[in-house]
Amino acid sequence: MATGKHIPCGPCSVDDVTKNAWRWCTSCEEGLCEDCEHVHRRSKSSRNHRVISIEDYSKIENVSISQICEHHGENLEWFCKSHDEVLCVVCVPSKHKACFDVIPISVNSANLRQSSGLSDLEETIEGTLRNVKQCIRNRESATKEIEKQELEVKTMVLDTRAKINGQLDKLQEKLLHELRSTSQTCKSKYMKILQKLKSTEEMLTKLREQSIHTKQFSSDIQVFLGMRQVNKQVGSEVESIKNEISVTKDFTLKITIDGLIEKLSNEVEEFGKIFVSESATNLEFRDPKLDQAQIEINVPTTRDISKTKLQLHKSFQITSTNTLNVAGCVILPNGNLLMANATKDNQLIEYSDAGEHIRDIPVSDPPCDIAVLDLDRIVVTYENASYIEIINRKTFNVEKKISLQYSCLKVSQEDGLLYVVYGKDKIQVMDLSGKQIETLKITSEGLSCVKTSRQKIFYANYNTKQVHCCRLNGEELWKFECDSIKFPYDITSDSYHNVYVADSVSKSLTIVQHDGKYSKTLLTESDGLNRPTAVDFDTDKRTLLICNAGGNVALYNVV
Count how many domains the chain has: 3
Closest CA to 522 of 539, 541, 498: 498
Q: Is there a single domain that holds both residue 338 and residue 419?
A: yes
Taking alpha carbons only, the member of 532, 533, 537, 539 closest to residue 555 is 537
Q: Which of 484, 487, 492, 481 is nearest to 450 (CA)?
A: 492
Are residues 530 and 399 part of one domain?
yes
Residues 395 and 474 in one domain: yes
- Contact partners, residue 373, CB within 8 Å, separation at least 6: 379, 390, 413, 432
3-state secondary structure 172-224: HHHHHHHHHHHHHHHHHHHHHHHHHHHHHHHHHHHHHHHHHHHHHHCCHHHHH
Amino acid type, 94: S
- For the full predicted model, state whether its pTM sits above 0.75: no
Q: Rounded to whole angstroms, how far apart are CA atoms 354 and 388?
A: 30
Answer whether 393's CB lies under 8 Å from 373's CB: no
Q: Specify the CATH number for the domain of residue 498.
A: 2.120.10.30
Beta bridge partners of 389: 380, 401
- Burial of residue 24 (CB within 10 Å: 0-12, 13-18, 19+) is buried
Asked if residue 518 and residue 436 are part of one domain, the reply reads yes
Same domain, 516 and 375: yes
**Would you say residue 212 lies in a domain?**
yes
Q: Are residues 321 and 208 in the same domain?
A: no
d(CA 121, CA 527): 37
CA–CA separation, 434 and 365 (whole Å): 19
Give yes or no: residues 427 and 480 share one domain.
yes
Residue 48, φ and ψ in degrees, nearest 5: -95, 5
Check: CB of residue 505 under 8 Å from CB of residue 513: no
On whether both 317 and 262 belong to a single domain, the answer is: no
Do both 168 and 48 map to the same domain? Answer: no
Confidence at residue 118, expressed as pLDDT on a 0 to 100 scale:
66
Phi/psi for 231 (5° steps) reads: -65, -40
Kindly report the CATH number assigned to the domain that includes residue 59: 4.10.640
Domain presence at residue 275: no
| Co-location of 60 and 127 in the same domain | no
Q: What is the mean pLDDT of each run of 10 residues along the chain (559 residues)?
A: 68 90 88 92 86 85 77 87 86 86 73 62 76 82 89 92 93 92 92 90 88 85 86 86 87 88 83 77 59 41 74 91 89 92 90 93 93 89 91 89 87 89 85 89 84 89 92 88 91 91 93 92 90 91 92 92
Dist. CA 35–CA 14, nearest whole Å: 14
* pLDDT at residue 328, as a whole number: 93
Residue 497, domain member (yes or no): yes
Distance CA 389, CA 76 (A): 47
**Are 520 and 401 found together in one domain?**
yes
Domain-located, residue 300: no
| Residue 208, domain member (yes or no) | yes
Contact status, residue 259 vs residue 240, Cβ threshold 8 Å: no
Helices 116-217 and 220-246: angle between axes, nearest 10 degrees: 160
Asked if the structure places residue 167 within a domain, the reply is yes
Of the three residues 240, 266, 292, the one that is the final residue of a domain is: 266
Asked if 87 and 79 count as a contact pair (C-beta separation under 8 A), the reply is yes
Helix (H, G, I), strand (E, B) or coil at 30: strand
pLDDT at 271: 79
User: Which domain covers residue 200, as residue numbers?
Assistant: 119-266
Rounded-to-10 torsion of CA 33, 37, 38, 44: 150
Domain end (from 65, 81, 96): 65
Cβ–Cβ under 8 Å, residues 544 and 555: yes
Judge if 49 and 145 occupy the same domain: no
Is 271 a member of any domain? no
- Does residue 2 sit within a domain? yes
AA letter at 491:
I
